[in-house]
Amino acid sequence: MSRNRDIAKILGLTEAENTTNVSLGAGGGGGSGVTNADSIGLFAASPDSGTLHYAKDTKALYLYDGNEYDRVFSGPNEALSFTTSLASTSTVSPGDSATFTVLAASDFEGFPITYSYETVPSNPVGLDSASGTDNSGVINNNDGTFNLYGASGIDSSAQFTFRAKATDGTHVSTTSTVVSLVGSQTLDILFDNSCVALYKLDNDGTDASGNFDASGYKRGSGGYSTTAKYGSHSFAPIIGDAVLDLPDVVTSYPFTVSAWVQLNNLDNSANNVVMNTAIGSQRVTICFYDWASTNNMQPMIMYGGTGHWYWTGYTFALNTWYHLTYSVAGSNSSSSAVYINGSASGLTANNGGSSHGGTAGWALGGNFTGNANESFDGYIDQVRIFNKALDASEAATLYSRGG
């Protein structure tokens, strides 16, 4: 039994009563008055007169002085406190929901606790204004947990302060966390250090990791366009027959290349090379090709000296951005996969043969050497290279976070 219930018992109040009024008088008066409320530690400073109310629903005593109700408490030991606080920092990713848990706030006398929150600034960049309660991007579950929804399509990082509040009607306790929005142009987008290179292609070949900057053009020049998915520019190899010369980003299987692409031509008898690579001495080409001559380019992984794996069943449109994830499990591996906008693409087929020759080497937008007509006919933006083969769940997460 809580302390207030004990006091209620002393005063002759029962839980069965919704409210019971008790006259307070300095001299005692009649009825069931209390001679000196201060003497039993009910109030820090008691009025000369008033009524004492016992509320059954909250199991609480309240003093009413004729104007307002004040909850009865007996001292500083009853201060509200959190038994579990928010982490000092938290993250929310575009398109994701993160649950921040306060778990419990404790109240000395067992009064009901209500939770609320505030953000600083009040309308932070990064929360999804189409989700949450009243389109705030936040849901208060009223149990000490809060759901925060990250806005899709945010391409940069942002921070704001999220402050959770708990109150028992008299005391208020707060706990805060600094929330970081992990935008689509953050290198470690999967939070596992697997993304080793990110080329934003904003008019240069700089790698966000600082380790694999393009050394210049393998051939051609220019190649940048203001038609961009993110930032100010994308890479358009067909302009100036430009191919970027990259260092060896990864040198062994498995690996993944992802990129945003926009096709200018769906009917092309040549490969449209997104990335030429070198895994050991083997050339692996990430490209598009109208293999079935159906006027519909399809993504393909071509293995030097072994076979060609291609994906069908997806109809591309011109002037539309698509997110492609080429997950390369091994040499000529049937376990490799291509994901379009986060979803697995069609069926795989091995054309066989050993006609895919050429020079192994890392190049963006075309072959490492020769075959100028195999430059990518379209726009390439936000290119990532991972040191593992992304699975279906990771490909979907990558897409939901903006690629």
- Confidence band, pLDDT 50/70/90 cuts, at residue 102: low
Mark whether 47 and 109 lie in a shared domain: no
Report the mean per-residue pLDDT for the chain: 76
Strand 89-92 relative to strand 172-181: parallel, antiparallel, unpaired?
A: parallel
Q: Indicate which CATH number applies to the domain containing 158.
A: 2.60.40.10
Q: Which amino acid, one-letter code, is at 358?
A: G
Of 40-54, 103-117, 263-277, minimum mean pLDDT range = 40-54
188 in any annotated domain: no
Q: What is the mean pLDDT of residues 237-261?
A: 93
- Alpha-carbon gap, residue 51 to 214, rounded angstroms: 80
Which residues, 6+ apart, have CB-to-CB distance to 195 below 8 Å? 187, 188, 189, 384, 385, 386
pLDDT score at 33: 39
Mark whether 234 and 356 lie in a shared domain: yes
**Structure tokens given for 318:** 């011109």
* Segment holding 377, helix H or strand E: none
pLDDT score at 238: 85
- Confidence band, pLDDT 50/70/90 cuts, at residue 343: very high
Mark whether 143 and 200 lie in a shared domain: no
208 or 143, greater pLDDT? 208
DSSP 184: T
Is the pLDDT score of 391 beyond 90?
yes
- Alpha-carbon gap, residue 298 to 294, rounded angstroms: 10
pLDDT score at 79: 65
320 in any annotated domain: yes
pLDDT score at 31: 36
Q: How many helices (H) and strands (E) does the chain have?
A: 2, 29
- Confidence band, pLDDT 50/70/90 cuts, at residue 10: very low
Q: Indicate which CATH number applies to the domain containing 216.
A: 2.60.120.200
**Phi and psi (nearest 5°) for 82?**
-85, 135
Q: Which domain holds residue 158?
A: 81-181
- Alpha-carbon gap, residue 285 to 311, rounded angstroms: 14
Residues in the chain: 403
Mark whether 61 and 141 lie in a shared domain: no
- Residue that is last in its domain, among 181, 213, 248: 181
Q: Count structural domains, the chain.
A: 3
Contact 242, 225 (CB under 8 A): no
> In this predicted model, what pLDDT tens digit does every residue of 13-36 receive, in sequence order?
544 444 445 554 443 333 333 333
pLDDT score at 72: 63
50 or 329, greater pLDDT? 329
Which residues, 6+ apart, have CB-to-CB distance to 67 below 8 Å? none
- Alpha-carbon gap, residue 84 to 166, rounded angstroms: 12
289 in any annotated domain: yes
Mark whether 126 and 173 lie in a shared domain: yes
pLDDT score at 144: 80
- Alpha-carbon gap, residue 297 to 37, rounded angstroms: 86
> In this predicted model, what pLDDT tens digit does every residue of 357-376 receive, in sequence order?
667 789 999 887 765 568 89
DSSP 375: B
- Residue that is last in its domain, among 30, 47, 74: 74
Of 20-29, 99-108, 111-120, 142-151, minimum mean pLDDT range = 20-29
Mark whether 245 and 290 lie in a shared domain: yes
pLDDT score at 3: 43
What percent of the chain has a predicted confidence (pLDDT) above 70? 68
**Phi and psi (nearest 5°) for 398?**
-55, -45
Q: What is the b/e burial string over 198-211, where b = at least 16 CB atoms within 10 angstroms of the residue's CB?
A: bbbbbbebebbbee
- Alpha-carbon gap, residue 106 to 112, rounded angstroms: 9
> In this predicted model, what pLDDT tens digit does every residue of 115-140 receive, in sequence order?
888 888 887 777 777 777 777 888 88
Mark whether 270 and 359 lie in a shared domain: yes
189 in any annotated domain: no
Mark whether 277 and 255 lie in a shared domain: yes
Which residues, 6+ apart, have CB-to-CB distance to 237 below 8 Å? 220, 223, 243, 273, 364, 365, 366, 375, 376, 377, 380
Scan for tokens 């008088």, then name that residue. 25
What percent of the chain has a predicted confidence (pLDDT) above 90? 23
Residue 58: other Cβ atoms inside 10 A: 15
Is this prediction's pTM over 0.85?
no
For residue 179, what are the β-bridge partners? 90, 160
Q: What is the mean pLDDT of residues 240-250?
A: 92
> In this predicted model, what pLDDT tens digit does every residue of 179-205 receive, in sequence order?
877 666 778 888 788 999 999 999 999
- Confidence band, pLDDT 50/70/90 cuts, at residue 309: confident
187 in any annotated domain: no
Is the pLDDT score of 222 beyond 50?
yes
Q: What is the mean pLDDT of residues 57-67?
A: 65
pLDDT score at 56: 61
- Alpha-carbon gap, residue 6 to 240, rounded angstroms: 87
Q: Which amino acid, one-letter code, is at 285?
A: T
End-to-end, the C-alpha distance of the chain in Å comes to: 56
186 in any annotated domain: no
Contact 338, 299 (CB under 8 A): yes
- Residue that is last in its domain, among 27, 47, 74: 74
Contact 257, 286 (CB under 8 A): yes
Mark whether 173 and 294 lie in a shared domain: no
